[in-house]
Structure 1
């Protein structure tokens, strides 16, 4: 796209944002820092999600933060997968045709290691594997990246929060240097509370949008409130950020999953602290005009 076309597109988007935002309550431009960009499941629009390939793609694009999802196998190994089932992102139906509904928790780590987690995304990704959490942590560390780690479906995996913390400790991620590069989140507030109780130095986040009336309660154990970007308001963002979290800093807001330029600019103008996105490249370009 020519520079003149890019400028015209940016101006049009900013004009649309101005029309969509309330006149009062939004921060002035000079008071609104550019939000951080977090690559959702790695650069998951460009490489198969939650694989080491997606982590590396985000790294090559220059993105420091990646997000992932952690679950547990039948034999107790932590693996990086989003869905409770294996069918969408692997060839499990072909490898184990008689094992429906192909739930993560019904397969051993050795069985999951046999699966192709890349071909569904594109032929050139054939042979990608589902990483264990230990493998994933090693790759993120090698790339000097930071990690927003989601504990997925904790109701299926009793004791997964302390197990995740134990793996982080074994992998060297609970020292002072790594703690600056780590946030643990979940949709399940009791799980987040457990992480904070067991390891108070770890930053934590609650996924979703608790009512304003409950925000003060959540701020006792959560450093971030991470809502879906749809339905987000400038007033809600401000209500969160007025509170101090468990480490004495303002509670942050990370909105998900923001993939379109117009949504990027709206959320940024609301003053969110970070944007979780499948398309970090698109979001970065959009923020360049902010």
Structure 2
């Protein structure tokens, strides 16, 4: 009897260790079995998107996951911004009036550091800056958050996959303690495949809605399929989840961008594994209440 009890405890302990060491162990884990809630560009309904203020706000709301977008400056620095132009979310037209169309790739990191990335959202955020990815990663770590990192428009930035992975490694995000807190995604299937080939342990996600016939191919290099919620159905989610990804686990589905309670409940009923949202507190409350 004693031997059987000890054996059972050992097996249970080994199972726990296996889960903890799994690079995707946290990727589908929401609160009390509910879908994970991912703060889109940070808590972007309440603070300027893709800024340190937005991820701080997500942390204040008690959110585990934040999402961001990564691009590259003229002098090769990785920065966190969604649009390939600086125009919408900064005062670039005022600071550099003669440099239309104000593409991120046409400005150095020092030039971008001069821009106000907060006033467009609210005067309360005047002087907020576009963060470098390095600074952003350190704030995510400080906040004990998890990161859904999007490689934005990788066709504009050859080699951005390797460069991003090097920085993640430098910041310690490719060790066992961090792999369960990191997902790298892109709208480019080639970019997702490149990330998987370079660092097979990193959890990856494809942004889009491949046909069911294509899912077998995507499952070779992507752990999640992340479609817009309007393209989803219960049947499609179930079809995705019949496949196993490169880490031998069921493919996950994170839907975007869900911003109201009614939609959150509807999408949760499809069986998705997560929802990406500008209003993470609203979505979290909706899925928690059923």
After TM superposition, the score normalised by the length of structure 1 is 0.88
Q: Could you give the per-residue CA deviations for residues 254-290 of structure 1, whole angstroms, max 9, x where no partner exists?
A: 0000001111001100000000000001111211221
Aligned length: 259
Q: Structure 1 residue 140 and structure 2 residue 151: aligned?
A: no
SS in 1 for 2:205: strand
Runs of 4+ in 1 over 4 A off after TM superposition: none
Say whether the 8 Å CA contact 2:209–2:231 is kept in structure 1: no
Instruction: Report if the CA contact (8 A) 1:33-1:271 is conserved.
Output: no
Asked if 1 retains the 8 angstrom alpha-carbon contact of 2:50 and 2:68, the reply is yes
- Per-residue Cα deviation, 1:18-68 (whole angstroms, up to 9, x for no partner): xxxxxxxxxxxxxx9410100000000000000000000000000010000
Structure 2 gap ranges (5+): 1-31
Listed as ranges, the matches of 1:1-290 within 5 Å are: 33-290=33-290
Equivalent residues of 2:73, 2:106 under 8 A apart: yes
Q: Give the 3-state SS of the residue equivalent to 1:288 in structure 2.
A: helix
User: How much does 1:231 deviate?
Assistant: 2.5
Q: Distance in 1 between matches of 2:88 and 2:141?
A: 28
Q: State the alpha-carbon separation in 2 of the partners of residues 208 and 260 from structure 1.
A: 21
1:236 & 1:81 partners in 2: Cα distance? 31
CA contact (8 A) 1:71 1:151 kept: yes
Q: 1:135-187 CA distances to partner (integer Å, 9 max, x unpaired)?
A: 00000000110000000001110111000001101111111011010000000
Kept in 1: contact 2:146–2:182 (CA 8 A): yes
Distance 1:222 1:154 in 2: 17
* Two-structure CA RMSD over aligned residues (Å): 0.9
Q: Secondary structure at the match of 2:230?
A: coil
C-alpha contact 2:69 2:82 (8 A) present in aligned 1: yes
Question: In the aligned structure 1, how far is the partner of 2:120 from the partner of 2:78?
Answer: 22
Give the Cα separation in 2 of the matches to 1:213 and 1:287.
Answer: 31
In 1, distance between residues paired with 2:210 and 2:55?
30
Using structure 2 for the length normalisation, give the TM-score: 0.88
